[in-house]
């Protein structure tokens, strides 16, 4: 069956692709299984060199990849350039990590005990459409660094950058079969990877709903899983914060048109500064440039699909305190929208995954922590205050995996990324990312006799 890939800004088809089914998935797993012994035996310095070469090729093809990503996802070209830059950084980081993923020696009676980090085998990587190549690289980098071979399934909506990366991986000299990119449906290819007895692990990013299916399916073969799922993160603004700075950062929720698992889509504001903050936040949001993703000055593009726009719209049923401008006509456009809410409202409970910010008032620190934690999710969040002790107290009290103080940035190549609660488990990025793609083996050598 063929798949038509659309440009979300124009609704025009940009590619027609053949979709893989169960048979092609099995063939890809067989190829990855066959080359696994050779790939895991590549000397660490050589594996590092190959990953470094992938990073360099991504840099050399940066503009081309950014254009592919921008056109396929509808994301502004400036943002896409930054994301491709990060993809290169990820490969550089894990190239450097190959020979620094040490084992331990452990005191033991009668001999010496030591640990080794062994690869898992063939890993299945299923990624979403919001940051297609970026999220793929967070999994590919550590998986390859540890010596695993890979079947990568991009989202149906956004397969183009992964296909191009598959070519660059070969050009870098990584042998055929080590990285297999399969375009196909989640319910077919994704499902088969979960079931396949020769797949050792699923690295998954996507909805909590599908994450649950991954976990259930993985149980049959005791597959390892890393789940990076949804979020409903809080941006907590205290009265002693630099309000102007906090309000001037509307991208914490509107970046990537809100299609971001780290979107701070609940903005918790202390009552004493609520009106001042809201006014400044509306002014900043009015300034967000929405339009043609190919234009350098554009800050927000359309949503990814018509179906997704429908879902996002369903969250704005009452009066919005602010609704911005968006192009009319073709394209899956949705304006920046600000609503006042309580934490019990649907817009504050469920992941909207669109440019909709829910502003929620709170009384004091205890109340802020209670509301921020009153969600099944626990991915990211921000704390805005000039009081250092409070910043640390609240950071320790929040049930979330990735927090920032006086900043809205969540993702760094060097630091672990992942969720608490129903936002998933396992960590990506940083040296911790390697833990999810290796097993610890303990070996005891007797020194007696
Ligand atoms: P999904 O969770 O459905 O998709 C994520 C990936 O999983 C895609 O590659 C998809 O394939 C695949 N998939 C879908 N069904 C299965 C299955 N049964 N078995 C294995 N793999 C499967 O997310 P959606 O794209 O539908 O988005 C829905 C909502 O999920 C969003 O509105 C948002 O709330 C949340 N989401 C969260 C993300 C995050 O970063 N945490 C990312 C994306 C979505 P395919 O698309 O090809 O069918």
pLDDT band at 318 (very low <50, low <70, confident <90, very high): confident
Ligand 1 centre to CA of 308 (Å) is: 12
Cα 35 from Cα 12, distance rounded (Å): 39
Q: Are 270 and 237 in contact (CB under 8 A)?
A: yes
Q: Are 187 and 95 in contact (CB under 8 A)?
A: no
Ligand 1 centre to CA of 210 (Å) is: 6
Mean pLDDT of the chain: 97
For residue 154, give the ligand 1 atom closest to its CA: 9
- Number of H helices and E strands in the chain, helices first, is 16, 18
Q: Is 262 in the pocket of ligand 1 (CB under 6 A)?
A: no
Cα 264 from Cα 396, distance rounded (Å): 18
Report H helices in 41-182: 44-60, 62-73, 77-97, 132-145, 160-171
Q: Which pLDDT score, from 0 to 100, does residue 255 have?
A: 96
Q: Is 213 in the pocket of ligand 1 (CB under 6 A)?
A: yes
Q: Is the pLDDT of residue 371 over 90?
A: yes
Whole-angstrom CA distances from 279 to 43, 273, 275 are 59, 10, 6
Q: Which pLDDT score, from 0 to 100, does residue 248 have?
A: 86
pLDDT band at 1 (very low <50, low <70, confident <90, very high): confident
Which positions are catalytic?
228, 261
Backbone angles phi, psi at 90, to 5 degrees: -60, -45
Q: Which pLDDT score, from 0 to 100, does residue 317 have?
A: 80
Which residues in 292-310 are b (16+ Cβ under 10 Å) and which e? bbeeeebbbbbbbbeebbe
Protein residue closest via CA to atom 38 of ligand 1? 206
Ligand 1 centre to CA of 205 (Å) is: 7
pLDDT band at 136 (very low <50, low <70, confident <90, very high): very high
Question: What's the whole-number mean pLDDT along residues 299-317?
Answer: 96
Q: Is 156 in the pocket of ligand 1 (CB under 6 A)?
A: yes
Q: Which pLDDT score, from 0 to 100, does residue 168 have?
A: 98
Q: Which residues contact 133 (CB under 8 A, 6 or more apart)?
A: 65, 69, 83, 84, 87, 161, 162, 165
Ligand 1 centre to CA of 211 (Å) is: 8
Question: What's the whole-number mean pLDDT along residues 193-199?
Answer: 98
Give the residue, out of 128, 195, 334, with the most ligand 1 atoms within 8 A of its beta carbon, to mutate for a pocket test.
128
Cα 30 from Cα 37, distance rounded (Å): 13
pLDDT band at 319 (very low <50, low <70, confident <90, very high): confident
Q: Is 129 in the pocket of ligand 1 (CB under 6 A)?
A: yes
Ligand 1 centre to CA of 156 (Å) is: 10
Protein residue closest via CA to atom 44 of ligand 1? 206
- Residues 364, 367, 373, 374, CA torsion sign: negative
Protein residue closest via CA to atom 12 of ligand 1? 186
Q: Which pLDDT score, from 0 to 100, does residue 332 have?
A: 98
Q: Is 260 in the pocket of ligand 1 (CB under 6 A)?
A: no
Cα 179 from Cα 177, distance rounded (Å): 5
Q: Is the pLDDT of residue 195 over 80?
A: yes
The pLDDT tens digits for 176-190 are: 999 999 999 999 999
Q: Percent of the chain, pLDDT > 70?
A: 100
Q: Which pLDDT score, from 0 to 100, does residue 377 have?
A: 98
Q: Is 230 in the pocket of ligand 1 (CB under 6 A)?
A: yes
Residue holding tokens 């020769």? Answer: 198
User: Apex CA 8: angle with CA 418 and CA 208, to 5°?
Assistant: 25
Q: Which pLDDT score, from 0 to 100, does residue 139 have?
A: 98
Please give the span between the terminal C-alpha atoms of the chain, in angstroms, as a whole number. Answer: 66
Q: Is the pLDDT of residue 106 over 80?
A: yes
Protein residue closest via CA to atom 42 of ligand 1? 206
Burial class (CB in 10 A: 0-12, 13-18, 19+), 11: middle
Q: Are 358 and 377 in contact (CB under 8 A)?
A: no
Q: Is the pLDDT of residue 449 over 90?
A: no
Q: Is 206 in the pocket of ligand 1 (CB under 6 A)?
A: yes
């Amino acid at each position: 069956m063929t798949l038509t890939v659309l440009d979300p800004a124009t609704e025009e088809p940009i590619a027609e692709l053949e979709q893989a089914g169960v048979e092609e998935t099995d063939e890809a797993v067989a190829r990855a299984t066959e080359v696994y012994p050779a790939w895991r035996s590549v000397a660490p310095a050589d594996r590092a060199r190959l990953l470094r070469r992938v990073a360099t090729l991504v840099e050399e093809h940066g503009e081309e990849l950014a254009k592919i990503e921008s056109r396929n996802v509808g994301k502004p070209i400036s943002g896409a350039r930054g994301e491709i830059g990060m993809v290169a950084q990820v490969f550089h980081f894990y190239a450097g990590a190959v020979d620094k993923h040490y084992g331990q020696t452990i005191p033991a009676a009668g001999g010496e005990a030591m640990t080794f980090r062994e690869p898992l085998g063939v890993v299945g990587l299923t990624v979403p459409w919001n940051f297609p190549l970026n999220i793929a690289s967070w999994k590919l980098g550590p998986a390859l660094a540890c010596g695993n071979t890979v079947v990568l399934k991009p989202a149906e909506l956004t397969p183009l950058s992964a296909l191009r990366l598959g070519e660059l991986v070969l050009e870098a000299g990584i042998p055929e079969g080590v990285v297999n990119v399969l375009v196909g449906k989640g319910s077919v290819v994704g499902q088969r990877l979960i079931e396949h007895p020769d797949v050792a692990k699923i690295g998954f990013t996507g909805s909590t709903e599908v994450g649950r299916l991954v976990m259930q399916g993985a149980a049959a073969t005791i597959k390892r899983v890393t789940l990076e799922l949804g979020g409903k993160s809080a941006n907590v603004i205290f009265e002693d914060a630099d309000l102007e700075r906090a309000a001037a950062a509307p991208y914490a929720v509107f970046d990537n048109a809100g299609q971001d698992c780290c979107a701070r889509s609940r903005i918790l504001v202390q009552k004493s500064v609520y009106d001042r903050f809201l006014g400044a936040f509306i002014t900043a949001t009015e300034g967000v440039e929405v339009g043609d993703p190919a234009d350098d000055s554009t800050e927000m593009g359309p949503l990814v699909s018509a179906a997704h726009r429908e879902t996002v719209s369903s969250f704005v049923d009452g009066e919005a305190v602010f609704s911005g401008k968006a192009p009319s006509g073709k394209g899956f456009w949705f304006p920046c929208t600000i609503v006042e809410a309580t934490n019990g409202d649907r817009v504050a409970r469920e992941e909207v995954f669109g440019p909709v910010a829910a502003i929620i008032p709170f009384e004091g620190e205890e109340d802020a922590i209670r509301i921020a934690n009153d969600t099944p999710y626990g991915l990211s969040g921000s704390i805005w205050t000039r009081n250092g002790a409070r910043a640390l107290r609240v950071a320790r009290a929040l049930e979330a995996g990735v927090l920032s103080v006086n900043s809205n940035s969540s993702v760094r190549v060097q630091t672990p990324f992942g969720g608490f609660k129903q936002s998933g488990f396992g960590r990506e990025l940083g040296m911790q990312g390697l833990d999810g793609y290796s097993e610890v083996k303990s070996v005891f050598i007797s020194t007696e006799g």
